[in-house]
Structure 1
Amino acid sequence: MAEKIYLRHPGKDETVAVGTGFSWGALLLGFVWAMSKRMWFATFVMLAVNTLLFFSGLWGETIGTIGLVLSVLFGVACGAYGNQWHRWTLEQRGYVVVQPPVHPQRRAT
């Protein structure tokens, strides 16, 4: 299980957990995942690249195969870097890394 980094905005009582490993959401959902994280620039770039790769597949069989391979590679790259992009976006908005929240142990009675 991947570790998480916790970020908090100094003016808000909101803590956001960001994974440190591979992002399956970024791989499988692409720009929809980025939009759900309010990463607008990443949403635009991912949508633009996916659209270009989709339309390249309509030009011919060989180009379509190359477009498919590039699309898979782009998806894997988004999955590999997605959590880092999310953390960077939050830090640009003023969030800072904090210690993970501590949950008290429950005692069995």
Structure 2
Amino acid sequence: MGEKIYLRYPGKDETVAVATGFSWGACLLGFVWALSKKMWFAAFVMLAINLLLFCSGLWGETADLIGLVLSVLFGIACGMYGNQWHRWTLEKRGYVVL
């Protein structure tokens, strides 16, 4: 299990813990995970990419296999970078690292 980075919004007593390392939630749940973290733009992008990969699988047997491989790779990429995206989103909203 990775460490956690704590961020606080100045002027409020609100602290958010963001894990470091691989995010299983982002890997397995994708845009639903992003919605739960209130990362609206990331959720929209993840949903759009998932829909494109799904639609590419409708074009034939070979495209279906390629779409599956790309979907798995996209899920792994989301898992690898999900926590970094979450931290970046919070920092853009004004949170600072403690």
TM-score (norm 2): 0.98
Read off the aligned partner of 2:88 and give its amino acid letter. W
Pairing of 1:1-109 with structure 2 (within 5 A)? 1-98=1-98
Read off the aligned partner of 1:4 and give its amino acid letter. K
SS in structure 2 of the partner of residue 79 of structure 1: helix
Output one character per residue of 1:47-77: Cα deviation in whole Å (capped at 9) or x when no partner.
0000000111111000000000000000000
SS in structure 1 of the partner of residue 59 of structure 2: coil
- 5+ residue gaps, structure 2: none
Q: How many residues align?
A: 98
Counting aligned pairs with the same residue, the percent is 83
State the 4+ residue runs in structure 1 displaced beyond 3 angstroms: none
> How much does 1:3 deviate?
0.2
- 5+ residue gaps, structure 1: 99-109
Structure 2 Cα separation of the partners of residues 67 and 12 of structure 1: 45
Structure 2 Cα separation of the partners of residues 41 and 91 of structure 1: 15
> How much does 1:80 deviate?
0.0
Read off the aligned partner of 2:87 and give its amino acid letter. R
TM-score (norm 1): 0.89
Structure 1 Cα separation of the partners of residues 7 and 84 of structure 2: 13
> How much does 1:11 deviate?
2.4
SS in structure 2 of the partner of residue 6 of structure 1: strand
RMSD: 0.5
Flag the structure with higher helix content. 2
